[in-house]
């Protein structure tokens, strides 16, 4: 991935802001009291699609229309938020959209992707098998394959980090969930162009730890399964281009269990009355795990999305941890 300049990110932010306003960041007093640190929440749950991914869809499709004006459609794989982002932007450009999801994917995310104009196709047991089918389908149809990680997607996603660091430039650390890596790479890019010393700490599911294992080994490591209800982090195969960025730009990667994620979802709701999906609550779960380390500091967490099925969230609020077979 290229080294972004401040101009690159500011131009991306200007484009994103033509489609949506900047999202807010708040230091919620009850949440900060629970943690023992000043905790700033970047509310990417407040975007038009309920998650940060919408930003990358805007910049990617703007680039696609210029770079490949002959394109008539796109194909991509997702667990939901990336698919919503691409469907929203592509249909606005008049393109056909085919989105491959694994069997058993979120019912409500699937419905949202269809509402944005995407054709949802179920294939495989997990995201990585759906991703393989998307490649095949793109080759069959001649439509452009949209990867989960792309320079233009990261440039758009980085706009939330540019907003965050501009509003709160003196954060000691920011905790970011990792799925395919666009979020953490966007945060690293914005931090670096602004010349800040903020630590960037990645968060993965303990049940899908490929990014953490790769980070610690210094090479790509795949896992056999990614069985977590936090579907935004349910990735078995790390993205090489993203790994190249966070391997050098992140301070460390923390793994959180599904029980810890469920507890963080409850705490976010109780202290802020905001809804967080599993990946969106994972940064707080990591902060709680490292409570002794962060005490007294100024900490940022990325609430990356709110798109969780109602039945699942009801179970979480009732004190349960959803299980994935």
Residue 325 in this model has a pLDDT that exceeds 80: no
CA distances from 189 to 142, 200, 246, 299 (A): 33, 10, 10, 18
Residue 34 and residue 271 in contact, taking contact as beta carbons nearer than 8 Å: yes
Contact by Cβ (8 Å): 210, 194: no
> Angle CA(253)–CA(310)–CA(211) in degrees, nearest 5?
15
Which residues share a beta bridge with 38? 298
Q: Report the alpha-carbon distance of residue 53 to residue 47 in Å, rounded.
A: 9
When pLDDT is averaged across residues 231-246 and rounded to a whole number, the result is: 97
Give Rg (Cα) of the chain.
18
Taking a C-beta distance cutoff of 8 angstroms, is the pair 25, 33 a contact?
no
Segment 234-249 mean pLDDT: 97
Sequence-distant (6+) residues with CB within 8 A of 176 are: 183, 184, 187, 200, 201, 202, 203, 283, 302, 304
Residues 237 and 128: beta-carbon distance below 8 Å: yes
DSSP state of 232: G
Q: Give the tens place of pLDDT for each residue, 253-308.
A: 999 999 999 999 999 999 999 999 999 999 999 999 999 999 999 999 999 999 99
Question: What mean pLDDT do residues 211-231 have?
Answer: 97
CA distance 270 to 288: 15
């Amino acid at each position: 991935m290229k080294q972004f300049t401040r101009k690159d990110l500011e131009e991306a932010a200007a484009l994103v802001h033509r489609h949506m306003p900047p999202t807010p960041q708040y230091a919620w007093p009850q949440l900060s009291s629970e943690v023992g640190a000043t905790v700033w929440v970047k509310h990417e749950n407040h975007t038009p699609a309920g998650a940060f991914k919408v930003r990358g869809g805007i910049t990617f499709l703007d680039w696609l229309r210029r770079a490949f004006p002959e394109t008539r459609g796109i194909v991509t794989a997702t667990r939901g938020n990336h698919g919503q982002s691409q469907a929203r932007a592509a249909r606005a450009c008049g393109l056909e959209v085919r989105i491959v999801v694994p069997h058993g994917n979120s019912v409500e995310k699937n419905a949202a992707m269809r509402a944005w104009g995407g054709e949802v196709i179920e294939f495989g047991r997990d995201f990585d098998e759906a991703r393989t089918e998307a490649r095949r389908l793109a080759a069959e149809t001649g439509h452009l394959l949209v990867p989960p990680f792309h320079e233009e997607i990261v440039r758009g996603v980085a706009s939330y980090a540019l907003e965050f660091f501009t509003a709160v430039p003196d954060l000691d650390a920011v905790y970011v969930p990792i799925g395919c890596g666009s979020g953490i790479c966007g945060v690293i890019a914005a931090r670096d162009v602004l010349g800040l010393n903020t630590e960037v700490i990645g968060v993965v599911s303990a049940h899908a730890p490929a990014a953490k294992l790769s980070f610690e080994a210094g090479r790509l490591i795949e896992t056999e399964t990614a069985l977590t209800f936090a579907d935004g982090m349910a990735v078995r195969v790390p993205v090489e281009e993203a790994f190249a960025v966070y391997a050098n730009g992140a301070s460390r990667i923390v793994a959180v269990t599904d029980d810890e994620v469920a507890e963080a979802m409850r705490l976010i709701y109780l202290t802020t009355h905001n809804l967080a999906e599993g990946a969106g609550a994972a940064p707080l779960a990591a902060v709680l795990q490292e409570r002794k380390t962060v005490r007294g500091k100024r900490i940022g967490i990325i609430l990356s999305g709110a798109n969780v099925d109602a039945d699942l969230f009801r179970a979480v609020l009732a004190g349960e941890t959803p299980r994935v077979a």
